[in-house]
Structure 1
Amino acid sequence: MLTNKKTKIVATLGPACSTRETIKDMIDAGVNVFRVNFSHADYEDVKEKINIIRGLNKEFGYTTAILGDLQGPKLRVGVMEEGVVVHDGDLITFTTAEDILGTAKKVFMKYKNFPNDVNPGERILLDDGKLIFEIVETDKKSEVVARVIQGGELKSKKGVNLPNTKISLPAMTEKDIEDAIFAIGQNVDWIALSFVKTPRDLQDLQELIAEHSEYKIPIVAKIEMPEALENIDKIVAYCDALMVARGDLGVELPAHEVPLVQKELIRRAKTARIPVIVATQMMETMITSLTPTRAEVNDVANSVMDGADAVMLSGETATGNYPVQVIQKMTQIIEAVEDSPLIQVPQNTPQIKTKRFITKTICHHAATMANVIKAKAICTLTNSGYTAFQISAWRPNAHILVFTSNERILTQLNLLWGVKSFMYTKDVSTDDTVTDVNEIVKQKGFVQKGDFLINLAAMPIKDKGMVNTLRVSEIE
């Protein structure tokens, strides 16, 4: 039985959930979106998993979505000798000239422009911030000398973060462009872009999507750099959703600053009326244990209380021992807190008179009115999915039920808080459509005799225009 929670769960695909049975059990336990992590993706394997998910959607009437997550410019050091340890105060040289086997004295840095981008006094973080170096000098060509601030073991191919440096790399590497074209070819529902710094990064991906697909694929901007926080207002205007990527964010920023940044980013997304996903280390213990820590339970609950539309699992479902149980546990936590009156949505009504102003206003009033008259459901007919985004953003107490003949948005909308979508292909007149939709909603058990229900539609229906009508029905 599928759950009735409104907050969505994004689960990362991996070796731990590669069978059809496990994937089905995960959907039944509460997964709404599966994430393909292109940092560790084999195209044939991804195709197979996508086919399994779409096959299950078809067979059981699920609307499970697929999110392709691009790796972005992950900086790394080269291969190291075994057991290299550096100590506080030591000097070490990072070179881009040749791919040498790394020692405690000299290490290969895979990023060509590194010596030119950095300056003395800036920091280099290695292996998720376990090792910290401070740059002493750079020749601006191929070598950088740094002093060890926090030592430890230097391991092969570990990730590098440069929190004080403005990196000249675009957010999309050649690998990302290749992965994005593959993802577009697989008709994924969403694409996430890593290490977004400016709106230009998002525009580059939008152009790539436009070039390779006749459909618009919505983009999730992953916020994990200090630069992104500085540009957040502009970024929000160019993306379709935000992800609070706490892993790299907690390395790029001091970890103790991340909780307030998370709250601020969720608030920004809510004000802009776009969905927001909270990610990384949510139920980390459950990779190897059947019981999450109290702190993890609190973390998931607090993310929901902050107003997250979705919470995401990474290693827990990709490589963990309990991919189904972790979803059950997460669903339990979400259901326990998501109806709390403590959750507040910023009440900024639509002001800017764009061509969507009427639609936005109708959706806002539908959500407000549903709460006032205690309507059990808001039903909307949509071809683009726009009304679903708008209604979901206002967080009404009523069910948000979307009817569409557009197969692509049927699954896409599954990331949105509280939204359930259904295929509806009849092209009949408005009165008949409303009666028809209300009957379907009643059959599906969302409403019963005497309940109020709000219908939104674009009149005339066959034109598939913008929503311009709000109607209240009482179920007979």
Structure 2
Amino acid sequence: MSKIIGTLGPKSRAVETIEGMLKAGMTVARIDFSYGTPEYHQETMEFLKQAVRNTRTLCGVMMDTLGPELQIINKSETPIAIDVDAFVTLTPDQSKEASSKYLPINFQNLANVVKPKDTIFVGQYLFTGSESTSIWLEVNEVKGNEIVCRAKNAATLAGPLFTALASSVRIDLPTLSENDKKVIASWGKANRIDFLSLSYCRHAEDVKQARALLTSLELTKTQIFAKIENAEGLKHFDDILKEADGIILSRGNLGIDLPSEKVFLFQKAALYKCNMLGKPAVITRVVDTMTENPRPTRAEATDVANAVLDGSDAILLGAETYRGNFPIQCIGTAEIVYNQRFYFKKVLEYVGEPMGHLESIASAAVRSATKVGASMIIVFTSAGQAARHTLIAKYRPLMPVMVVVIPQISTNFMRFSFSGTFTARQCLIVRGLFPILADPQVSTSNAANELVLKMAIEHGKMAGCIKANDRVVVCQKIGDSSVVRIVDMAA
């Protein structure tokens, strides 16, 4: 029922590999602009499109911005060995080669915002936090615009790009950089992205600015997922959640800005808040060891299961699929027990009474499906009715929810436009929703609705979700009325 977001990169961009990831359960492909050129990512997109055609599988596309990320370029790509207690200088001088003595960083103002005893973490792009491949630096002194640090552990930094994080230090860079705006306006618009992952989101205003940019580019259907990565984002979490379409908890970065023992507390609180508002929540950093190993550790498997039980809609795989050796094997998760009755009651109490029209219909559909032991909920929706199926998912039914998206065709007498694919693909990030596209020629008549319902049931049977003597709960609009009904399958 949970969804998997896979980051496509050097180890996972071949058509055959993407096909394997789609078959294994990837529902959203993440394209990360922290690294690589637009041309490189466009080539990856073409591979993804081919894999989607070959597998006949829907897949959403998430574009991840760079934001105010501190980066160190290793032009020679020569591994850099740093010993414990060695002194390393962070410099804004980009002409210097990265070495065990100097690390050129892309933020000119860093020396003005750090102080002695501050901690700076440097690791591989999409780092795993391994003590042998990433380094903890303690600021020893600041000399002009350079920062002299002492290494707190021994490590070897490998690869062309390292990411730096200054713990509990505010980086005075815009959340949407000029380069971010440029690639969204060009690459993002050209590829009609389904989701924008707003990196290092710190304020609700960041989401508003991103929304205004998307609106100006006529990307009004693109959903914004605010990526919470530091203490500043946590401080303004409630306001950010109100503005965003969903939340991504970047646990790796949060684990540097916060004491480790506080990350899980925030995770539980954040997932609860997302669930009560019916907004998708995504967590990262789940099977780090699978970058090098074909199986997760028991602790990682338990962590994934607990995240699902806490209410996470989706799991985001970063380094595991981007540069890991087992991208297809990584596409997996664990769900064991879900107390739906308790969860349903908790959401009802949070919503309170009187309920809104759609909220009442959604909760009634899930209550009916639970009481009669339905094998599936089928909900009819269109491009303008996204709230109907997302509210059903909010109540976390035990059975899958088939979202029958009825596309709409419009014309200005010069050309035809087809809407509905956005709605279908954006279901692929919400727990329990499984979209199918209906025939766009279908009208809104009762006879046509019954025909589409029959086809949806047949699709459920072929997928193995509906069997003889099962019951199916259907939620649809008939005329001016919203109807919830129970359909008995023939023996």
TM range (shorter): 0.7 to 0.9
Matched, 1:267 2:272: yes
Shift in Å, 1:343: 8.5
Q: Which runs of 5+ in 2 are unaligned?
A: 124-128, 408-419
From the superposition, tell whether residues 325 and 126 of structure 1 become closer, same or farther in structure 2 (CA, over 3 Å): closer
From the superposition, tell whether residues 82 and 192 of structure 1 become closer, same or farther in structure 2 (CA, over 3 Å): closer
Alignment partners' CA distance in 1, 2:289 and 2:153 = 27
TM-score relative to the length of structure 1: 0.84
Shift in Å, 1:219: 1.1
- Counterpart of 2:306? 302
* Superposition map of 1:20-169 within 5 A: 20-58=15-53, 60-77=55-72, 85=82, 88=85, 94-96=90-92, 99-100=95-96, 108-118=104-114, 122-127=118-123, 130-134=135-139, 143=145, 148=150, 150=152, 152=154, 158-169=162-173
Matched, 1:447 2:459: no
Opposite residue 469 of structure 1, the aligned amino acid is V
From the superposition, tell whether residues 399 and 107 of structure 1 become closer, same or farther in structure 2 (CA, over 3 Å): closer
Contact 2:135 2:151 in 1 (8 A): no
Alignment partners' CA distance in 2, 1:9 and 1:306 = 16
- What CA RMSD, in Å, does the superposition of the two structures yield over aligned residues? 3.3
Which residue among 197, 200, 203 is the counterpart of 1:195?
200
Alignment partners' CA distance in 2, 1:83 and 1:456 = 59
Deviates more, 1:397-406 or 1:104-113: 104-113
* Superposition map of 1:452-471 within 5 A: 452-460=471-479, 468-471=482-485
Alignment partners' CA distance in 2, 1:45 and 1:101 = 25
Matched, 1:179 2:193: no
Which residue among 426, 431, 436 is the counterpart of 2:451?
436
Alignment partners' CA distance in 1, 2:98 and 2:326 = 37
Shift in Å, 1:290: 2.4
Which residue among 258, 277, 288 is the counterpart of 2:282?
277
Alignment partners' CA distance in 1, 2:315 and 2:84 = 39
Opposite residue 38 of structure 1, the aligned amino acid is F
Contact 2:121 2:164 in 1 (8 A): yes
Shift in Å, 1:268: 1.9
- Counterpart of 1:326? 330
Opposite residue 441 of structure 1, the aligned amino acid is A
- Counterpart of 1:464? none
Matched, 1:416 2:430: yes
Shift in Å, 1:389: 1.5
Alignment partners' CA distance in 1, 2:98 and 2:46 = 42
- Counterpart of 2:369? 370
Q: Deviations for 1:268-306, whole angstroms, at most 9, x for unmatched residues?
A: 2112211111112x2233333323222222222222222
From the superposition, tell whether residues 410 and 84 of structure 1 become closer, same or farther in structure 2 (CA, over 3 Å): closer
Alignment partners' CA distance in 1, 2:99 and 2:43 = 41
Contact 1:454 1:472 in 2 (8 A): yes
Shift in Å, 1:92: 7.0
Contact 1:350 1:357 in 2 (8 A): no
Matched, 1:474 2:488: yes
Opposite residue 393 of structure 1, the aligned amino acid is K
- Counterpart of 1:228? 233
- Counterpart of 1:347? 347
Opposite residue 8 of structure 1, the aligned amino acid is K
Contact 2:366 2:397 in 1 (8 A): yes
Shift in Å, 1:152: 4.6
From the superposition, tell whether residues 109 and 27 of structure 1 become closer, same or farther in structure 2 (CA, over 3 Å): closer
Alignment partners' CA distance in 2, 1:29 and 1:154 = 34
Q: Deviations for 1:419-441, whole angstroms, at most 9, x for unmatched residues?
A: 11111224434532442233123
Alignment partners' CA distance in 2, 1:456 and 1:65 = 24
3-state SS of 2:347 partner: coil
Deviates more, 1:290-299 or 1:220-229: 290-299
3-state SS of 1:250 partner: helix
Opposite residue 152 of structure 2, the aligned amino acid is Q
Contact 2:12 2:322 in 1 (8 A): yes
Deviates more, 1:6-15 or 1:114-123: 114-123
From the superposition, tell whether residues 401 and 84 of structure 1 become closer, same or farther in structure 2 (CA, over 3 Å): closer
Matched, 1:170 2:174: yes
Deviates more, 1:238-247 or 1:443-452: 443-452
From the superposition, tell whether residues 351 and 430 of structure 1 become closer, same or farther in structure 2 (CA, over 3 Å): farther
Contact 2:227 2:249 in 1 (8 A): yes
Opposite residue 359 of structure 1, the aligned amino acid is L
Contact 1:222 1:245 in 2 (8 A): yes
3-state SS of 1:382 partner: strand
Alignment partners' CA distance in 1, 2:353 and 2:223 = 23
Contact 1:310 1:415 in 2 (8 A): yes
3-state SS of 1:432 partner: helix
- Counterpart of 1:3? none
- Counterpart of 2:399? 398
Shift in Å, 1:93: 6.2
Shift in Å, 1:267: 1.6
From the superposition, tell whether residues 55 and 388 of structure 1 become closer, same or farther in structure 2 (CA, over 3 Å): farther
Matched, 1:210 2:215: yes
Equivalent residues, number: 455
Contact 1:283 1:296 in 2 (8 A): yes
Shift in Å, 1:59: 5.1
Matched, 1:240 2:245: yes
Q: Deviations for 1:77-117, whole angstroms, at most 9, x for unmatched residues?
A: 566999675765x8876554775457888764421232444
Deviates more, 1:442-451 or 1:375-384: 442-451
From the superposition, tell whether residues 192 and 323 of structure 1 become closer, same or farther in structure 2 (CA, over 3 Å): same
3-state SS of 1:160 partner: strand
Contact 1:124 1:135 in 2 (8 A): no
Q: Deviations for 1:355-396, whole angstroms, at most 9, x for unmatched residues?
A: x93212211221122212222322222223222211112111
- Counterpart of 1:379? 378
Opposite residue 304 of structure 2, the aligned amino acid is V
3-state SS of 2:484 partner: strand
Percent identity over the alignment is 23
Deviates more, 1:125-134 or 1:282-291: 125-134
Contact 1:35 1:68 in 2 (8 A): yes
Opposite residue 189 of structure 1, the aligned amino acid is D
Q: Deviations for 1:210-251, whole angstroms, at most 9, x for unmatched residues?
A: 111253200111111011111110011111111121121111
Contact 1:434 1:455 in 2 (8 A): no
Alignment partners' CA distance in 1, 2:297 and 2:350 = 41
Contact 2:282 2:312 in 1 (8 A): yes
Q: Which runs of 5+ in 1 are unaligned?
A: 1-5, 462-466
Matched, 1:360 2:364: no
Alignment partners' CA distance in 1, 2:266 and 2:370 = 31
From the superposition, tell whether residues 430 and 160 of structure 1 become closer, same or farther in structure 2 (CA, over 3 Å): same
From the superposition, tell whether residues 342 and 179 of structure 1 become closer, same or farther in structure 2 (CA, over 3 Å): farther
